Structure 1
Amino acid sequence: MKRVLPALVLICVTALTATACSDPTAGDGGSGADSGAPVDPTARLDGVKLTMWTAQNTVNAPRQVIDAFEQATGATVDTQAIPDLYEQNVPTKLASGDRPDLMFWQPSVSTLPFVQPRQNLLTLDGEPWVGKLGDTERSLGVVDGKRYAAIVTSPAMLGVYYNKDVFRKAGITEDRFPRNYAELLKLGHTVKDRTGAAAFYESGGDKWPLQWQMQVQLTDLDQRWWAGLNTNKEKWTDPVVVKAITTYKDQLLGAGLAQKNYRTGTFTGSADALWNGEAGMVLNVTSFQTQLQAKHSTAEIDRKIGWFPVSRSDATGMYSPDQTNGVVAFRTGDEKRQKAARQFLAFWLGTDYAQYIKAMKIPSVQPGVPSPDGLPGTSLAQLKALPTANGVFQAKAVVAPDTHLYLADMIYGKKTPAQVAQAIQDQFAQVAKAQGTPGF
């Protein structure tokens, strides 16, 4: 999951707010296409054309459900790939007045506000598929008590991918898997000392994966701390955050637990290094597994790669929402298309859902719909860990600052841990203020 919040996004947030406020139809009321009257997922829609925005890397993700929906209803759904960086360019297009009918968008409290959901999106409370979602999935897509996103895939899981051959060589069995972050670092020394492989592969070249080692160490912060952060009463400069950054710098990187080229390592390089046994572990989200599945069969992955969850104090996993998890529907002013957009979501998460996840080879977000056969063991382990997982800060903070950029500055010798924390806090407060967050 890549997150970018440059200064341009601040401009987009302001522009979107102004555009919405000048629209006499904007707001919570008005649209008969909002939730309430149930829709028939397979009702005929001959002649209706819907537009759906996707990121460049997800343009084919809805292909199966679109084909099935078009065949069942006679509608047409046209996908349009928005150039990268997605989270930056979508607000820019919306601020110019352009609107799709549907769009992939990260269903988190830190990212949904970028598209001004109250003014721009249809509310989806009471849709028949809402009650079918798992508990974690149902918690996503909601802002200020209202649902604005349908959850079509499970959030990514953050955890440790490990090479089974390296662990076997190091004498590490499942009963010795770490039960907290301190034990994870200790296990890293075991891997390094006994095998000669790097304990961890870090991707300083791509930067965005740098956030995860810090994230894992913040799971001790309870919801009261996050609530304080979101009202400007707690800060990213608090000692507990600075300590997490310092631990990453000194006890992992400084202790030689990463590969030698960690400053220039890449995301794709991490998958190759783990597969080849050059690194024992990679801490990353589910997109890492997607890389493996693109190159190797389920049987090959099961023989070579395992996965386990870990947090600061226990072995609980972490979930991380991304833009492939949620689909939002826009207020376009066209009642027929708005109703058709709701029908498409009802079809996706109802009539077609079992076929969709089978085609995509992904876990189910609905406990009542079994996940397809043939998923790798790593995927099944993540599915098992999801119900008790903690959310990463993108799911808890009202703004998701670019921690990875400042951590990259640190590994390149440009910032101290305290300076990293201050940069994170400065950006967090700036964006929160631009969004009109109370307390900022």
Structure 2
Amino acid sequence: MKKALIGVAALASAATLLLAGCSDPTTTGGGDSAPADWPAQDTKLDGVSLTIWAAQNSNSVPDSVVAGFEELTGASVDVVTIPDPYEQGIQTKVATGDKPDLAFWQPTASQLTALNATTNLQALDGAPWLEATNADVRDITGILDDTRYAALISTPAVEGVYYNKEVFEAAGVTDLPTDWDSFVELGRTLKAGGVTPFYEMGGDRWATQWWVQVQLADAAADGLWERVNANEEKFTDPTILGAIETYKGLIDEGLFNEDIKTATFEDQGDALLAGDAAMVVQVNSFFNQLQAKSDTAELDEKIGFFPIAPSGNIGTFIPDQSNALVAFKTGDAAKEAAARQLLSYWLGDGYADFVAAQDTVSLQDAVETPSSVPSALLAVNDSLGSSVGSMQALAIANPDLYIFLADMIQGTKTPEQVAQATQDQFAELAKAQGATGF
């Protein structure tokens, strides 16, 4: 989840992958069968080397698992950081035949399709950790055409508002916003008091889309993305275009950081922790960054979270690439089995240590969520049950909305041009899939 998804530069490669998927006879009837075996977690792997591809915000996530697995099995595991935009980089590499053994990957059906899962990924049906996984999240994502291709390792991300409690307190804010209008009004009140209300990372671009998507939560619950998928509603129609125009209006009003055009993901985390800005619209991976910069005591003191939508405190559900892994078909049966074994260990004997190391909410009833998990992350998890699907979760294709919005921030596109460019790319990707109506 992080970052939306198919880059402009990789569009041709992505379309090729999608077309290959459409012509592949295994794409009907549920895809490939489950792997023939799941090796025991402690099977010796001396001399076996595995590679995991990770993004900037997920490259430290495997640390405890890798250390435990290497000690237990004798394998060597190399975590390789793929530069942002991560999804675009992965698709470009895979299109040229370059594959890792495992990779962090957004586990939505559209993103599994974009990776041509039936051809490129191992099926994970029958995985030994599934029975231990909480039933509420076990099948929420990671499945394409009735075949499981992604292993969920942490609670799926929710788009919402992280805020600095100390900034709110100093400004006399005692009640959290209860809907979009009160959220924006709070921003204006803070601005009038000399506080930077909102912080955006226009330089790194990928989070710009969250501001549009949280405004679409009510429409998503009312079937927006189903209509977009059927070409019955477009990005250029009033609902989505209106959200883009509102975002642009708030920027023009001066409610964001002055360096919005160049600010980065790192800058965003630093600014919220330091109290240089009051609020950030982000997903769970942002909080991972805050955890790397601070400890639970400071985070509980400073950082809170609330979901937001036009009608109330409703989150927008978006499985993030840091939430799940996929295992690739590499043609090396021994390494493919070792990759499955690593997943079994990660979500088996290594899971309690992983949850503790990440200070994150457990997906397994038998593994307790650590008492050290910050309250903001618990609030994110609590909002998941009432959240609605994001574009990434519900659309059949996920165009580069974030890039076009970043262009708008830089002054090179109008809201109308953002909507049109997004619609054009969505239609092209949908057509490449063979979607009806395009």
**TM exceeding 0.5:** yes
Residue of structure 2 equivalent to 1:138: 139
CA shift, 1:172, in A, is: 1.7
The answer on whether the counterparts of 1:101 and 1:337 sit within 8 Å (CA) in structure 2 is yes
Give the residue type in structure 1 aligned to 2:185.
K
Q: Which residue of 2 aligns with 1:323?
A: 321
Whether contact under 8 Å (2:121, 2:328) holds in the other structure is: yes
3-state SS of paired residue (1:273): helix
Q: Is the 8 Å Cα contact of residues 362 and 371 (structure 1) preserved in structure 2? A: yes
Distance in 2 of aligned mates of 1:344 and 1:333: 17
Percent of counterpart pairs with the same letter?
46
1:124–1:149 contact (8 Å) kept in structure 2: yes
Aligned match of 1:427 in 408, 417, 425?
A: 425
CA distance 1:234–1:36, change in 2 (3 Å): farther
Q: CA deviation at 1:380?
A: 1.9
Distance of 1:29 and 1:168 partners within structure 2: 53
Shift of 1:378: 1.4
Would the aligned equivalents of 1:19 and 1:95 in 2 still touch at CA under 8 Å?
A: no
1:378 match = 376
Q: Deviations over 1:35-93 (max 9, x none)?
A: 46554333344554433333355344323222322333344434444444432232233
| Displacement over 6 Å in runs of 4+ | 18-32
Alignment of 1:322-341 (within 5 A): 322-341=320-339
Amino acid at match of 1:359: A
Structure 2 residue aligned with 1:204, among 187, 202, 205? Answer: 202
Give the conservation status (yes or no) of the 8 Å contact 1:68–1:352: yes
Q: Does structure 2 conserve the Cα–Cα contact (< 8 Å) formed by 1:137 and 1:154?
A: no
User: Normalising by the residue count of structure 2, what TM-score does the alignment of the two structures yield?
Assistant: 0.88
Q: Which residue of 1 aligns with 2:238?
A: 239
Shift of 1:142: 1.2
**What SS is found at the alignment partner of 2:170?**
helix
Instruction: Report if aligned partners of 1:45, 1:73 keep a CA contact under 8 Å in 2.
Output: yes
Deviation at residue 14 of structure 1 after TM alignment: 4.3
Q: TM-score, normalization: structure 1?
A: 0.88
Partner residue, 2:288 = 290
Instruction: Determine if contact 2:355/2:370 at 8 Å carries over to the other structure.
Output: yes
- Structure 1 residues 254 and 88, CA gap change in structure 2 (3 angstroms): closer
Question: Are the counterparts in 2 of residues 136 and 387 from structure 1 also a CA contact under 8 Å?
Answer: no
CA shift at 1:312, angstroms? Answer: 1.9
Flag the 1:368–1:238 CA change in 2: closer, same or farther, 3 A.
farther
Amino acid at match of 1:187: L
| Residue correspondence of structure 1 range 88-99 to structure 2 within 5 A | 88-99=88-99
**1:5-24 paired onto structure 2 within 5 Å:** 5-16=6-17
- Deviating more after overlay: 344-353 vs 157-166: 157-166
Alignment of 1:306-317 (within 5 A): 306-317=304-315
Contact 1:199 1:258 in 2 (8 A): yes
1:66 counterpart = 2:56: no
Check whether the contact 1:31–1:335 (CA below 8 A) recurs between aligned residues: no
CA distance in 1, matches of 2:302, 2:119: 49
SS in 2 for 1:363: coil
Corresponding letter in the other structure for 1:178: P
SS across alignment from 1:328: strand
3-state SS of 2:348 partner: helix
> C-alpha separation between the residues in 2 aligned to 1:407 and 1:400?
14
**Residues of 2 paired with 1:313 and 1:29: CA distance?**
38
Conserved 8 A contact 1:150-1:327: yes
Report how far residue 317 of structure 1 moved. Answer: 2.0
Alignment match, 1:279? 277
Of the structure 1 ranges 347-356 and 280-289, higher mean CA displacement relative to structure 2 is found in 280-289
- Distance apart, 1:415 and its partner CA: 3.1
CA contact (8 A) 2:38 2:337 kept: no
CA distance in 2, matches of 1:146, 1:380: 30
Aligned length: 435
Match of 1:216 in 2: 214
Hey, what does 2:402 align to over in structure 1? Answer: 404
SS at match of 1:279: coil
Deviates further, 346-355 or 75-84: 75-84
Change (3 A) 1:270 1:22: closer
Distance in 2 between residues matched to 1:31 and 1:314, nearest whole Å: 42
Aligned to 2:155, what secondary structure does the other structure show?
coil
Change (3 A) 1:36 1:280: same
Look up the match of 1:151: 152
Match of 1:415 in 2: 413
Q: What letter corresponds to residue 77 of structure 1 in structure 2?
A: V
Query: Which has the larger displacement, 367-376 or 332-341?
Result: 332-341
Change (3 A) 1:44 1:6: closer
What is the match of residue 191 of structure 1? 190
Q: Deviations over 1:238-257 (max 9, x none)?
A: 2111111122222x224332
CA distance in 2, matches of 1:169, 1:126: 53
Change (3 A) 1:415 1:128: same
Mapped contact 2:22–2:434 kept (Cα < 8 A): no
Calculate the aligned-residue CA RMSD, in Å. Answer: 2.9
Structure 1 counterpart of 2:236, one-letter code = T
**Letter aligned with residue 68 of structure 2:** A
